[in-house]
């Protein structure tokens, strides 16, 4: 059994300050293992879950600085591999090596103190910053010399801008300036997950390990995160099922296949092309070897009994015995999704909203919304989380009555609804077989199981209580339910959460083959771009059309932010791109002025640091502190202007 050690570095003293650098390190038996510049080395990993073998003699070398996407079907062991890397799972064989001194971080599953203000929670992810701040503030009862050294180190790690940097990440993930001082307990579970993600991005590290980081994000913040991860100089190991993310960010792909870990250079599309070429070459090689063996066997069968040919026959028998023919590459069965076509035909105008106001109790979410969903349309609802997309979906599906206004539905209209809140739609105590059986009463038990199998729910899992299924399996059960009906309109609220790439592609194909109307809410750029031809932005209580493309929307978000994009769409209608530019002119001038001031201040700071490296007195330290304070104020002004 491999010996694994998870230990804390010996305390490092930085000019007599009192803090420790904590890193994850595992014991390695040889010193030259990182000559290949690997951050993480996995050698001959074998791991079982009960009787099921997840990894078998799997070997992988992950390069330092790489942006690596980890892919594979649901249940293949991606999240388990993360736990193995962090030493949380007992492996059955092999070794895991982490580069000595490397710091690996991932999103915390639990929050320790819900009373912390949001901004404080983020900056506390930097343990060194927190300890230095305590020394400087006098909390450690340190000597004057220690405080002076702490100030030097604090400036070196750019501690004066810590809150500004943390705020920048929070704003990128959708928080507002008013949220910075709120306590964590004031946020919902989804926003607390975002806060944990922000803390992970802020924390000093050499390698980020992210497990489906976009699952709790909207399209807008997912685009920001994509841009952030693409620019970061940290190594990244990321589980994702989103092609757009994997293509834009990654320069390596690790695929879990047949219990092995396969490393491909390039992004997701490059990996697919490389994998297909390799599999084609392998199949051809196997076929050639089989033909060669058959040819030799035919010689043995024909001449083996003849004395004159006995020597040649024996030679060929030995060659056949030594011949090793590789296994044919496994071809995943894939998941085929098909939705029943609408029956019977109804009026073309399926659902019409007229001056609809909707919300929950006294909380108004949508005001005076006008929208018409017609047969055959594929509509995408865009906009940041919390603006009312899910509320609008519930109104359209009939699950939420409007506070005022009129909702008109076509006669005999049937609507299917996929909720991102799986617990709202599924009986957690029932099994998938029982759930489908109650809905499709004409199905025999064999038909029920066959129907579930089309969505990747095996016979063994079909008898498991829904509460014990994975998120991906629950999503598949919901899709299986929706495929039974013959609806005229299908409304999907984040259907791709927890689905792997093959399942997402199957869902996209099914939506495109479906003849009725579709209303889709998703953060998956690939799914939106391949299915929808009509876009609406839900923001500020309004639902306004956006006549640009998704790429237009992406460009607007990255340059002007979601709020400006929504305002432009609402105020100027169809000409969203040019309207947004006009709206942003004054703000752009303000940002440029602030950026110029920040650049000048940073130059002054750098010059002073150069002088202080030779000699430093109290006046220089005071001037340096003043510059850092002014720089932080300017950065906060820039963040406010950009928010």
Give the separation between CA 138 and CA 289, rounded to whole angstroms: 76
Q: What is the pLDDT of residue 567?
A: 45
Among 168-177, 312-321, 557-566, whose mean pLDDT is lowest?
557-566
The DSSP secondary-structure symbol of 444 reads -
pLDDT grade, residue 642 (50/70/90)?
low
| Range with the poorest average pLDDT among 186-190, 497-501, 620-624 | 620-624
Position with higher pLDDT, 563 vs 358 = 358
Residue 2 has pLDDT above 50, yes or no: no
**What region, left, alpha or beta, does residue 158 occupy, with left being phi > 0 and alpha being psi -120 to 50 degrees?**
left
What is the four-CA torsion angle of 12, 15, 19, 20, rounded to 10 degrees?
A: -10
DSSP assignment letter at 9: P
CA dihedral 318, 324, 325, 329 (to 10 degrees): 170
Q: Which range has the worst mean pLDDT, 55-64, 294-303, 323-332, 354-363?
A: 323-332
Mean pLDDT of the region 193-209:
95
Location of structure tokens 């050294």 = 149
Q: Is the pLDDT of residue 31 over 70?
A: no
Q: What is the DSSP string of 535-572?
A: EEEEETTEEEEE-S-HHHHHHHHHHH-HHHHHHHHHHH
pLDDT(607) > 70: yes
Confidence of residue 486 (pLDDT cuts 50, 70, 90): confident
- Please compute the mean of the pLDDT values over residues 424-431 and round it to a whole number: 85
- Residue range 535-550: mean pLDDT, rounded: 92
Given pLDDT bands bounded at 50, 70 and 90, which one contains residue 145?
confident
Contact by Cβ (8 Å): 219, 382 = yes
Please give the average per-residue pLDDT across 42-65, as a whole number: 93
Higher pLDDT, 226 or 30: 226
Place of tokens 């909390």: 139
pLDDT-based confidence at residue 15 (cuts at 50, 70, 90): very low
Residue 143: which pLDDT band, with cuts at 50, 70 and 90? confident
Q: What is the pLDDT of residue 609?
A: 74
What is the average per-residue pLDDT within 374-400? 93
SS3 581: helix
pLDDT higher than threshold 60 for residue 384: yes
Q: What is the mean pLDDT of residues 596-622?
A: 73
pLDDT of residue 18: 28
Q: Which residue has the higher pLDDT, 64 or 590?
A: 64
CATH of 349-540, one of 3.40.50.970, 3.40.50.150, 1.10.490.10, 3.40.50.300: 3.40.50.300
Instruction: Please determine, for residue 86, whether its predicted confidence score (pLDDT) is greater than 90.
Output: yes
| Beta carbons within 10 angstroms of residue 298's beta carbon | 11
Give 619's pLDDT tier (boundaries 50, 70, 90): low
The pLDDT tens digits for 329-341 are 665 556 678 888 8
Residue 25 CB coordination number (10 Å): 18
Query: What value does the mean pLDDT take over residues 146-169?
Result: 89
- Could you give the angle at which helices 471-484 and 432-439 cross, rounded to 10 degrees? 20
**What pLDDT band is residue 511 in, cutting at 50, 70 and 90?**
very high
Average pLDDT over residues 236-264: 93
**Which pLDDT belongs to residue 23?**
36
Of 6 and 616, more confident = 616
Neighbours of 470 (CB within 10 A): 13
Backbone angles phi, psi at 163, to 5 degrees: -65, -35
Check residue 16 and give its pLDDT. 27
**Residue 592 pLDDT exceeds 80:** no
Instruction: Measure the CA–CA gap between 116 and 182, rounded to whole angstroms.
Output: 8
Provide mean pLDDT across the span 568-576. 40
Res 148 pLDDT > 90: no
Give the model's pLDDT for residue 28: 40
Q: What is the pLDDT of residue 276?
A: 84
Q: What's the average model confidence in pLDDT over 418-423?
A: 76
> Quick check: 634 and 160 in contact, CB under 8 A?
no
Name the more confident of 641 and 213.
213
**pLDDT of 290-327, one tens digit each?**
888 888 888 788 776 666 666 777 888 888 888 887 77
Beta pairing, strands 517-521 & 489-493: parallel
> Considering the entire predicted model, what is its pTM?
0.73
Q: Say which range, 75-79, 525-529, 573-577, has the weakest mean pLDDT.
A: 573-577
Report the mean per-residue pLDDT for the chain: 83
pLDDT top residue among 233 and 600: 233
User: Which is more confidently placed, 208 or 135?
Assistant: 208
Please tell me the predicted confidence (pLDDT) of residue 608: 78
Q: Closest by alpha carbon to 19, among 101, 126, 131?
A: 131
Q: Quote the tokens at residue 478.
A: 């919901």
The predicted model gives 421-444 an average pLDDT of: 86
* Mean per-residue pLDDT, 519-526: 92
The percent of residues above 70 in pLDDT, for the chain, comes to 84
The pLDDT, as a whole number, for residue 53 is: 92
Check residues 562 and 295 and name the one with the higher pLDDT: 295
Say if residue 30's pLDDT is above 60: no
């Amino acid at each position: 059994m491999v010996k694994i050690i998870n230990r804390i570095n010996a305390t490092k003293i930085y000019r007599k300050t009192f803090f420790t650098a904590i890193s994850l390190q595992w014991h390695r038996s040889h010193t030259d293992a990182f000559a290949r510049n690997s951050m993480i080395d996995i050698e001959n990993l074998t791991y079982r879950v009960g009787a099921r073998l997840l990894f078998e003699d799997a070997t992988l070398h992950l390069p330092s600085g790489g942006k690596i996407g980890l892919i594979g079907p649901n249940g293949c062991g991606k999240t388990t591999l993360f736990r193995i890397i962090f030493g949380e799972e007992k492996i059955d064989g092999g070794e895991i090596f982490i580069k000595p001194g490397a710091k690996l971080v991932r999103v915390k599953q639990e929050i320790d103190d819900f009373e912390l203000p949001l901004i404080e929670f983020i900056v506390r992810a930097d343990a060194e910053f927190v300890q230095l701040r305590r020394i400087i503030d006098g909390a450690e009862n340190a000597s004057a010399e220690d405080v002076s050294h702490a100030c030097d180190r604090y400036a070196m790690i750019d501690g004066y801008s810590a809150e500004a940097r943390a705020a920048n990440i929070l704003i990128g993930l959708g928080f507002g300036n008013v949220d910075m001082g709120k306590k964590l307990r004031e946020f919902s579970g989804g926003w607390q997950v975002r806060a944990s993600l922000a803390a992970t991005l802020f924390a000093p590290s050499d390698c980020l390990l992210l497990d489906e980081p976009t699952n709790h994000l909207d399209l807008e913040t997912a685009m920001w995160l994509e841009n952030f991860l693409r620019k970061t100089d940290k190594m990244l190991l990321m589980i994702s099922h989103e092609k757009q993310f994997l293509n834009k960010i990654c320069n390596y792909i690790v695929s879990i296949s047949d219990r092995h870990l396969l490393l491909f250079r390039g992004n997701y599309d490059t990996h697919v092309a490389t994998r297909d070429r390799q599999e084609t070459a392998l199949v051809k090689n196997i076929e050639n070897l089989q033909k060669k063996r058959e040819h030799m066997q035919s010689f043995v069968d024909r001449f083996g009994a003849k004395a004159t040919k006995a020597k040649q026959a024996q030679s060929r028998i030995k060659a056949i015995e030594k011949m090793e023919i590789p296994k044919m590459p496994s071809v995943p069965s894939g998941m085929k999704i098909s939705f029943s076509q609408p029956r019977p035909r109804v009026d073309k105008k399926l659902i019409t909203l007229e001056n609809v106001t909707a919300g929950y109790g006294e909380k108004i979410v949508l005001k005076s919304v006008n929208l018409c969903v017609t047969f055959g349309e594929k509509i995408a609802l865009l906009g940041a989380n919390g603006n009312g997309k899910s509320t609008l979906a519930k109104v359209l599906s009939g699950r939420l009555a409007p506070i005022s206004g009129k909702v008109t539905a076509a006669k005999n209209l049937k609507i299917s609804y996929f909720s991102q809140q799986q617990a709202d739609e599924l009986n957690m105590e029932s099994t998938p077989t029982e759930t489908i059986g109650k809905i499709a009463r004409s199905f025999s038990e064999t038909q029920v199981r066959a129907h579930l199998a089309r969505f990747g729910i095996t016979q063994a899992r079909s008898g498991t209580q829904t509460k014990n299924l994975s998120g991906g399996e629950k999503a598949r059960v919901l899709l299986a339910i929706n495929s039974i009906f013959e609806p005229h309109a299908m409304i999907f609220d984040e259907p791709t959460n927890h689905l792997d790439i093959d399942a997402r592609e199957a869902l996209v194909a099914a939506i495109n083959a479906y003849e009725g109307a579709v209303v889709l809410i998703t953060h998956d750029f690939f799914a939106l771009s391949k299915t929808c031809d009509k876009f609406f932005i839900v923001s500020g209580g309004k639902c306004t059309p956006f006549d640009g493309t998704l790429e237009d929307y992406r460009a607007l978000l990255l340059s002007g932010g979601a709020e400006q994009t929504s305002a432009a769409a609402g105020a100027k209608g169809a000409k969203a791109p040019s309207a947004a530019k006009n709206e942003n002119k004054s703000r752009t001038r303000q940002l440029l002025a602030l950026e110029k001031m920040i650049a000048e201040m940073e130059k002054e700071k750098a010059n002073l640091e150069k002088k202080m490296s030779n000699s430093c007195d109290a006046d220089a330290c005071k001037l340096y502190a003043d510059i850092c304070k002014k720089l932080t104020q300017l950065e906060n002004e820039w963040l406010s202007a950009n928010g």
